[in-house]
């Protein structure tokens, strides 16, 4: 993305370093992410948009797709592997080779719309994975849970009216990308939160709004857009979650998954730009998923 950009390689290093320091690294299996192919990406994006992305890769330097989203010569390779991680994780979980999975990927994906890149995102990684579960593995109902501080406008844009998918989300509002307060369809449960909301407000929303919708929907698999930028240390936004809140919501989602989905969860990294808070929060999320 260029020097001093918050969406930087240090984000993944922060998670890996904290995973090792916590001792959890010894209890998780690691997999390299394969590249997603065109057919996988076409489950979430238009053919014209995919051609545009592939044709835009610069031979050198940086080219901007919008004010926030830039490509260097290696961006496409990274984006293909980020999307491919979710597909591979879905295959592992569906086959029983993994109980569940966390995909430490960048670039993130939940702002990428059907035919538009934005907000650091090129491909909508979580929708690519969710639709792979539906179309390759024959599931009938999957849920997408998004607790990034920014509204997952791209995910909403793609899955609105797809009644095989229930999306539940929280996000700071009003805030970038200034959308989501009025859901586009009945399969969306968007809960805007005002700046300054702390963990107790977040937990009340999850308990009163998310969990009843998820329970009634009975998803056969849960996908998580795991953004950790609602942490109080992250100055990209103004919510006030802490590691314990991420651990709590992860445990609650595990309960739903065990009840309806044989425990199947695939979680994909979205935001989180305060490196220490990102590492600590992601590790508590992984700890909860691993039940350690």
Written as tens digits, the pLDDT of the chain (292 aa) is 878 899 999 999 999 999 999 999 999 999 999 999 999 999 999 999 999 999 999 999 999 999 999 999 999 999 999 999 999 999 999 999 999 999 999 999 999 999 999 999 999 999 999 999 999 999 999 999 999 999 999 999 999 999 999 999 999 999 999 999 999 999 999 999 999 999 999 999 999 999 999 999 999 999 999 999 999 999 999 999 999 999 999 999 999 999 999 999 999 999 999 999 999 999 999 999 999 9
CA–CA separation, 147 vs 45, rounded Å?
23
Q: Tokens in use for 32?
A: 């390299």
Q: Contact 203/181 with Cβ under 8 angstroms?
A: no
Query: Angle at the Cα of 161 (from 48 to 36), degrees rounded to 5?
Result: 45
State the catalytic residue, choosing from 88, 111, 132, 173. Answer: 111
111 is catalytic: yes
Which CATH number fits the domain 10-290, given the four candidates 3.90.950.10, 3.40.1280.10, 3.40.50.720, 3.40.800.20? 3.40.800.20
What are 30's two structure tokens?
């690691």
223: closest CA among 137, 152, 129, 289?
129
On whether the CB atoms of residues 95 and 88 are closer than 8 A, the answer is no
Which helix (H) or strand (E) segment holds residue 103: the answer is strand 101-103
Helices 10-22, 275-290: axis angle to 10 degrees equals: 50
């Amino acid at each position: 993305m260029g020097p001093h950009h918050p969406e930087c390689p240090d984000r993944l290093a922060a998670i890996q370093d904290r995973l090792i320091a916590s001792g959890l690294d010894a209890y998780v299996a690691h997999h390299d992410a394969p590249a997603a192919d065109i057919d996988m990406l076409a489950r979430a994006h238009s053919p014209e948009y995919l051609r545009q992305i592939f044709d835009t890769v610069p031979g050198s330097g940086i080219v901007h797709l919008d004010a926030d989203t830039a490509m260097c010569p290696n961006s496409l390779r990274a984006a293909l592997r980020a999307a491919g991680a979710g597909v591979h994780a879905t295959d592992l979980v569906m086959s029983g080779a993994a109980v569940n999975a966390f995909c430490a990927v960048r670039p993130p994906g939940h702002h990428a719309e059907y035919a538009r890149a934005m907000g650091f995102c090129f491909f909508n990684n979580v929708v690519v994975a969710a639709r792979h579960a539906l179309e390759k593995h024959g599931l009938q109902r999957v849920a997408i849970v998004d607790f990034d501080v920014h509204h997952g406008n791209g995910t909403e844009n793609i899955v609105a009216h797809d009644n095989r998918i229930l999306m539940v989300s929280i996000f700071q509002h009003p805030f970038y990308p200034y959308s989501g307060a009025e859901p586009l369809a009945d399969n969306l449960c968007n809960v805007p939160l005002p700046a300054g909301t702390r963990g107790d407000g977040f937990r009340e929303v999850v308990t009163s709004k998310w969990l009843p919708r998820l329970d009634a929907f009975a998803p056969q698999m849960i996908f998580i857009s795991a953004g950790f930028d609602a942490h109080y240390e992250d100055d990209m936004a103004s919510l006030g979650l802490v590691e314990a809140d991420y651990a709590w919501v992860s445990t609650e989602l595990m309960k739903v998954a065990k009840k309806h989905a044989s425990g199947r969860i695939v979680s994909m990294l979205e935001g989180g730009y305060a490196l220490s808070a990102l590492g600590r929060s992601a590790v508590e999320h992984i700890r909860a998923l691993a039940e350690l």
